Amino acid sequence: MSKQPTHPVAVRFLAYIALEKRYSAHTVAAYGQDLYQFFEYLQAQYDGIPELSAISHLHIRSWLAALMAEQQQARTVNRKISALKSFFKYTVRQGLVLQTPMVKVTAPKISRRLPGFIDEKGMQAVEDNRSMRRGQEDLPIFADDLEGQTHRLIFELLYHTGIRLSELINLQERHVDAANLTIKVLGKGNKERIIPISRELLQQVQAYSARKRKELEELAAGVLIVNHRNGRKLYSKYVYNVVNGYLSEHQITTITRKSPHVLRHTFATHLTNNGADINAIKELLGHSSLAATQVYTHNTIEKLKDVFKQAHPKA
- Enzyme catalytic residues: 164, 188, 261, 264, 287, 296
> How many angstroms separate the most distant Cα atoms in the chain?
69
Residue 22 — φ and ψ, nearest 5°? 60, 40
Q: How many CB atoms lie within 10 A of CB 108?
A: 15
How deeply is 107 buried, as exposed, middle or buried, from its count of CB atoms within 10 A (0-12, 13-18, 19+)?
A: middle
CB atoms within 10 A of CB 80: 22
How far apart are alpha carbons 223 and 203 in whole angstroms?
Answer: 17
CA distance 77 to 38: 12
Helix (H) or strand (E) holding 249: helix 236-249
Q: How many CA atoms lie within 13 A of 112 on its CB side?
A: 10
Q: In what order do the strands lie in the sheet with 192-196?
A: 176-177, 182-186, 192-196
How long a stretch of residues is the chain? 315
C-beta separation of 71 from 79 below 8 A = no
> How many CA atoms within 13 Å lie on the side-chain side of 63?
27
The span from the CA of 263 to the CA of 161, in Å, is 9
Are 249 and 241 spatial neighbours (Cβ–Cβ below 8 Å)?
A: no
